[in-house]
A = this chain, B = another copy of it.
């Protein structure tokens, strides 16, 4: 028995690595010291930092991957993964430095791997983040034909004095919501049940309520908030920032709130995008469950002292975000999120 007979094709792996190399190299920033193919990726912090704090996060794409499988489009989920990770460190004030991916599949297709990594590389480049390494694992028997899993790992940096921690959040602070681009990467197990099992639609089905196909609505990439938030970093006017992922506003906003403070969300402050209404009605999903499964149209929440609200919204506007909204306030002597 030779090695290839066992289901592992080292040569296909090497071909994939060759294709990925060029994609990754295009993302390299001045800090990158290594060539892809070294055992580890090398990144020099450089001399410009005074007291750097490294902020890191690991994430996956979740079952949104299954929509990619169904549509045969593998070039958008890279942006989902990278932007999710970028947002997760952005909320603590960090800008991205480098990224590594883990791509696991049953049988490696260099073509599909190239589409996936191409998407990762484009999203990394858009965020000034070097795709410095990763692992492509061929695991026969673990994944169904044509399926894979994808995880990402990001490291960013922030000066310690500019860390956004939420510690200073107090009653009376204002909650500013930024619109999401769609479901982002959360709630897909529920959404798929509703769309494919209850409504029995296909990814090509046109949905009149949405004015687009199921595949277009469900595959729209997770938005990065780095471009619109970057001008506000390091100015000490963001007391806290919450990325609205799995668990919705209900579970994510409390993660940054100090003990003894809660949030009042004015549910009429923004118009819930049609995709969430459509899913909720088709699936008869109770409102509290809907709010824990989905972002409901708000992908990021900024906590700002009342006197800074206008400055923050002006900064967002100048950076291209015209649709920020005051969606609630911090309340004392309570905890969690209250929808009013």
Most buried by B among A3, A66, A88, A242: A3
Q: Which residues of chain B are near A243, meaning CB under 8 Å? A: 39
Q: Which residues of chain B are within 8 angstroms of A2 by Cβ–Cβ distance?
A: 285-286, 289
What is the distance, in angstroms, from A129's C-beta to the closest C-beta of chain B?
13
| CB-based nearest B residue for A194 | B1
> Which chain B residues lie closer than 8 Å to A42 at the CB level?
53-55, 92, 163
Could you say how many copies of this chain the assembly holds?
Answer: 2
CB neighbours (8 Å) of A100 from chain B are 56-58, 153
Judge whether A89 is part of the interface by a CB distance below 8 angstroms.
Answer: yes
Chain B residues whose CB sits within 8 angstroms of the CB of A58 once the complex forms: 100-102, 133-135, 153
Q: Does A273 reach chain B (CB closer than 8 Å)?
A: no
- Tell me the nearest residue of chain B to A137, going by C-beta: B60
User: Using an 8 Å CB-CB cutoff, how does the interface string of A123-139 with B read, 1 for contact, 0 for none?
Assistant: 00000000011110111
Beta-carbon contact of B60 and A104 below 8 Å = yes
Q: Which of A18-26, A141-149, A168-176, A318-326 contacts B (4 or more CB under 8 A)?
A: A141-149
Query: Could you say which of B132, B190, B293 contacts A56, with CB atoms under 8 Å apart?
Result: B132
Q: Nearest chain B CB to A234's CB is how many angstroms away? A: 16
Q: Whole-angstrom distance between the alpha carbons of A5 and B127 in the complex?
A: 37
Interface residues of A in 91-110 (CB under 8 A from B): 91-92, 94, 97-98, 100-102, 104
Which stretch of A6-14, A201-209, A303-311 is in the interface?
A6-14
Judged by a CB distance under 8 angstroms, whether A315 is at the interface is: no
A40: which of B63, B88, B247 is its contact (CB, 8 Å)? Answer: B88
Measured CB to CB, the closest approach of chain B to A144, in angstroms, equals: 8
Q: Does A44 contact B (CB under 8 A)?
A: yes
Contact bitstring A154-186, B, C-beta under 8 A = 1, else 0: 011000100100000000000000000000000
Q: What residues of B have a CB within 8 angstroms of the CB of A52 in the complex?
A: 44-45
The minimal Cβ–Cβ distance linking A19 to chain B, given in whole angstroms, is 18
Cβ proximity bits A26-59 to B, threshold 8 Å, 1 near / 0 not? 0000000100011111111101000111111111
Q: Are B37 and A1 neighbours in the complex by a CB distance under 8 Å?
A: no
Give the distance in Å from the alpha carbon of A51 to the alpha carbon of B33 in the complex: 13
Question: With A and B bound together, what is the CA distance between A193 and B137 in angstroms?
Answer: 18
CB distance from A195 to the nearest CB of B (A): 11
A198 at interface, CB cutoff 8 A: yes
| Cross-chain contact A6 with B189 (CB below 8 angstroms) | yes
The smallest C-beta distance from A323 to any residue of chain B, in angstroms, reads 23
Asked whether, in the complex, the Cβ of B57 is within 8 Å of the Cβ of A53, the reply is: no
Contact of A215 with B by CB under 8 A: no
Contact A57 B40 (CB under 8 A): yes
In the complex, per-residue mask of A214-230: 1 if CB is within 8 Å of any chain B CB, else 0: 00000000000000000
Contact status B57-A89, CB under 8 Å: no
A283 within 8 A of B: yes
8 new A-B contacts at CB < 8 Å, known A1-B284, A44-B53, A102-B102 = A1-B194, A3-B293, A33-B163, A39-B89, A58-B135, A62-B137, A63-B139, A155-B155
6 closest cross-chain pairs (CB), A and B = A153-B153, A6-B190, A102-B151, A58-B100, A40-B55, A40-B89
